[in-house]
Amino acid sequence: MSVTSSTGTMPAAFLGHGNPMNALEQNRYTEAWRAFGQSVPKPRAILVISAHWYIGATAVTAMPKPRTIHDFYGFPQSLFDINYPAPGLPELADEISEVVHPTWVGADVDAWGIDHGTWSVLLHAFPQADVPVVQLSINAEKDFDYHLALGAKLAPLRERGVLIVGSGNIVHNLGGMDWSHPDDGFDWAQRFDEDAKARMLDDPTEVARLDGHGDFRSAVPTPDHFLPLLYLAGLAGAAGDVAAEGVDVLIDGYAYGSLSMTAYTLGLAGQVAATGGAGAAAMPTTMPPDGSNT
């Protein structure tokens, strides 16, 4: 049953999505995503900042019927057969432009849609696909402070029934994956993930300073999967009193040594039941991970 958030505004989240095979399986992470979806008020729309829309501009999808994008390689046909037919909400593009002004935001009416960083988690969190979904691109040309500030600027949308979700992985090193560690994290991965956790629970805006961490280059060889966390951190910072708003760990864990599956919620502290079960879905071995666009 849905519940109201602790502040009367829509909650927000960052979800560590892992590899797209999680869309087909039930495990401790997908159960956490399902519990999250059941714990939030039904949104007017879901705005997702996905690691997989990483381009040289800031843009939002503005089509009434976004297509399901299968932006990966080397996976079974059953994954390519998935369709997530959620509607779009074109008018949300104008609202986003309004709240983030003077930041320029382009309206994408035909190029993108719903990528696997979005639908692989929403299949579990909102399986009926009856809530409009809009994506906000990650501008690859901007620094960490830009993304943190843009996340903060999105905060008024939470008062308008918009559920904001970042989807990526705090530690995401595909080249470092080790098949003999399906549910473990290397020491460097755990150090980085735990430091991120300490900052998220104490002063979330400080995660933007993790680029100075000793394990940053190993944990974040490319920034695309890390940057969605900064949007939740920005929202938490905009909320002011983090303790009152409630930044909480939804689920944590590792996959193949070099992926963190940690997820966070904002405004739902203590309202999502803990989950058990198996670890993250297994990766297929037909293609090197760093060639799969996971």
User: What are the tokens at 94?
Assistant: 């104008």
**pLDDT, mean of residues 228-232:** 98
Mean pLDDT, the chain, integer = 91
pLDDT tens by residue, 201-226: 999 999 999 999 999 999 999 999 99
- Domain chopping of the chain, boundaries: 12-291
pLDDT band per the 50, 70, 90 thresholds, residue 8: low
* Other beta carbons within 10 Å of 193: 24
Percentage of the chain exceeding pLDDT 90: 81
Cβ-Cβ contacts under 8 Å for 268 (sequence gap 6 or more): 5, 6, 11, 13, 36, 39, 40, 246, 248
| pLDDT value of position 275 | 64
Who has greater pLDDT, 291 or 79?
Answer: 79
| pLDDT value of position 7 | 47
| pLDDT value of position 244 | 47
pLDDT band per the 50, 70, 90 thresholds, residue 274: low
| pLDDT value of position 173 | 96
Above 60 in pLDDT, residue 242? Answer: no
Cβ-Cβ contacts under 8 Å for 248 (sequence gap 6 or more): 201, 264, 265, 266, 268, 269, 270, 272
Q: Collapsing DSSP states into helix, strand and coil, what is residue 122?
A: helix
User: What are the tokens at 271?
Assistant: 């309202």
Among 96, 81, 91, 87, CA closest to 66: 87
| pLDDT value of position 74 | 82
pLDDT tens by residue, 129-187: 999 999 999 999 999 999 999 999 999 999 999 999 999 999 999 999 998 999 999 99
Contact between 69 and 112 under an 8 Å Cβ cutoff? The reply is yes
In CATH terms, the fold of domain 12-291 is: Protocatechuate 4,5-dioxygenase; Chain B (3.40.830)
**Measured between alpha carbons, how far is 216 from 51 in angstroms, rounded to an integer?**
17
pTM for the full model?
0.92
